[in-house]
Amino acid sequence: MSASTDRKQRQQAIAAGTDKKTLAAQEAAKKQAQSKLRWTLGTVAVIVLIAAVILLDSPLMIKGTTALKLGDTKLSPAEVNYYYGNEYVNFVNNYGSYASVFGLDTSTGVAGLKDQDCSMIENGTWRDYFLDAAEHDAAQITALNQYAADNGIALTDEELADVEASFEGLDETAKAQGYAGADALLAMNYGRGVTLKLAKEAARQSVLAGKAYDHAVDGFVFTPEEIAQYYEDYNGSHDFFDFLICDVKANVEEGAEAPSEQALAETRAVADAILAAYQDGSDIEDVSERFETAVESQTELVSVPRTGVQGSSLSEDYSAWLMDSRKAGDATVVDDSDGSGSAVVVFLAREDNHYNTVNVRHILVNAEADENGVYTDEAKAAAKARAEEILAEYEAGDKTEESFAALAEQYSGDAGSNTNGGLYENVPKGRMVAEFDAFCFADHKSGDTAIVYGESASYAGYHVVYFVGEGELYSNVIAESEMRSENASAWLEDLLLPYDPVETYWIRLVG
């Protein structure tokens, strides 16, 4: 090929872009373009991922999506977070440092619950546990709020003001703890999206739900015959029993798992001998003394008095015997169902709760404890003197129940009754401290007053008391309370049927 021809072909190749240098340059340019494309696509993916994370954490997703459906009601992740956080906070407040006993680590707050196995449920986390409780709570409040709407039940201005008042000072408290405000404090403790406005609305709904529930339960009506029969059907499980017992346990030989038949026979013989000695000692009038003497005559064991044992807590070994028609002093021997020996039992008394409760008002004057938590004689004397002043003020007036109630609301230190005139209704025996209880059941007439001392683990002081009158039969109080509770549970279960919680994709934002 001539030089001119070769040159001509190269020129044509260059023009066509097919010479070696050009091809190499084109290939390099192509690879560079592909690299840029991959880099660009990768960058876009990262940007999209970051945007998605930001979007998930944005107010739009926390407040604008649906995490839970309850019938026709939809709750956002923020609203579910409130219920979820509320369950957690209540649990921690109830158990305090003992929460760790259940395996709950509170150091991470609500944020760390999804990483903690929960001892309360099988194969689940604490997030699962509190979320399930939150969903149930939300369903119940939603259903009861709808019931309230359907039945014209609403909160009064005073009730609404009480809800508002429960949040007073929260913003200042939050700032004192280093938060920007109440919203930041609530979000940290309850979860993302929980604000002061949301918490107030949830609290309002909760109070309305309680009012709706009370409205429904108060509407249940039972006849006296139904109430009496209901208590009768308890078959003594709510009655209280006083009795004496001496347990005689059989010896178990070394290496054996249970007493031998001979050992059990010997034990039964001792128990029978105690019973016989008791029955032969009728010259001793006091039943407890007679039984104690009989026990001492046959064994080194001692008799044990048991008082106020509820029928449902009695041992099956002798419960049927005690619940049968008995009179004080009746005695028997029973064999222990676990095969450990025998017991001698003496019946003393049975309280079947067929007595009238009492209605009473009181004004509590607390004694001031010193820096060591001790109530000194001086502090108690001061409280008694103040109680005497209050009683004198009452007696200087018109001495009516209404005037006593007014003084209770003005002076009483009992937060449980000082907003309703110091009134306690249908009080049974043993409910109040000993001195107060003694006054209540000392055959007073309406209008009787007194000053009685009272002390428990939480207080010491004096009660100015006013006897209002007899209440209902305690057996009826017990029966009606449980009837009402059973009916309420059934009613609420039916009410909740259309509100079965349904989780959506956005439930993952809760917690």
402-424 per-position pLDDT tens digit: 999 999 999 999 999 999 999 99
d(CA 209, CA 215) in angstroms, rounded, equals 10
Give mean pLDDT, residues 339-356. Answer: 96
The pair of three-digit structure tokens given for residue 165, joined into one six-digit string: 């008042």
d(CA 18, CA 23) in angstroms, rounded, equals 6
Question: Nearest-CA neighbor of 363 among 437, 429, 416?
Answer: 416
**Residue at 91: amino acid letter:** F
Edge to edge, the sheet with strand 423-427 lists: 423-427, 356-366, 460-473, 449-455
pLDDT at 24: 55
Q: How far is CA 70 from CA 119, 133, 135, in A?
A: 28, 14, 9
Average pLDDT in the chain: 90
d(CA 244, CA 274) in angstroms, rounded, equals 13
Is the pLDDT at 464 greater than 70? The verdict is yes
Contact 366, 459 (CB under 8 A): yes
Residue 461: phi and psi, rounded to 5, are 170, -165
d(CA 391, CA 165) in angstroms, rounded, equals 33
Is the pLDDT at 45 greater than 90? The verdict is no
* Cα angle value 79/80/81 (rounded, 5°): 90
266-321 per-position pLDDT tens digit: 999 999 999 999 999 989 999 999 999 999 999 999 999 999 999 999 999 999 99
d(CA 439, CA 442) in angstroms, rounded, equals 5
193-252 per-position pLDDT tens digit: 999 999 999 999 999 999 999 999 999 999 999 999 999 999 999 999 999 999 999 999
Q: Which residues pair with 334 in a beta bridge?
A: 343
DSSP annotation string for 156-203: -HHHHHHHHHTTTTHHHHHHHTT-SSHHHHHHHHH-TT--HHHHHHHH
State the first-to-last Cα distance of the chain, in angstroms, to the nearest integer: 83
Burial of 467 (C-beta count, 10 Å sphere; 0-12/13-18/19+): buried
pTM for the complete prediction? 0.72
Hey, is 145 helix, strand or coil?
helix
d(CA 147, CA 161) in angstroms, rounded, equals 22
138-183 per-position pLDDT tens digit: 999 999 999 999 999 999 999 999 999 999 999 999 999 999 999 9
d(CA 359, CA 423) in angstroms, rounded, equals 7
DSSP 8-class letter at 325: S
d(CA 259, CA 257) in angstroms, rounded, equals 7
Question: Nearest-CA neighbor of 140 among 213, 204, 86, 89?
Answer: 213
Torsion angle defined by CA atoms of residues 208, 209, 215 and 218, in that order, rounded to the nearest 10 degrees:
-130
Question: Nearest-CA neighbor of 194 among 73, 59, 54, 68?
Answer: 59
Q: Give the number of other CB atoms < 10 A from CB of residue 469.
A: 13
DSSP 8-class letter at 448: -
The pair of three-digit structure tokens given for residue 310, joined into one six-digit string: 């509820």
Q: How far is CA 194 from CA 63, 198, 243, in A?
A: 9, 6, 57
Tell me the chain's radius of gyration from C-alpha atoms. Answer: 38
Question: Nearest-CA neighbor of 194 among 508, 502, 510, 504?
Answer: 510
pLDDT at 16: 45
> 1-10, 59-68, 194-203, 367-376 — which is least confidently predicted?
1-10
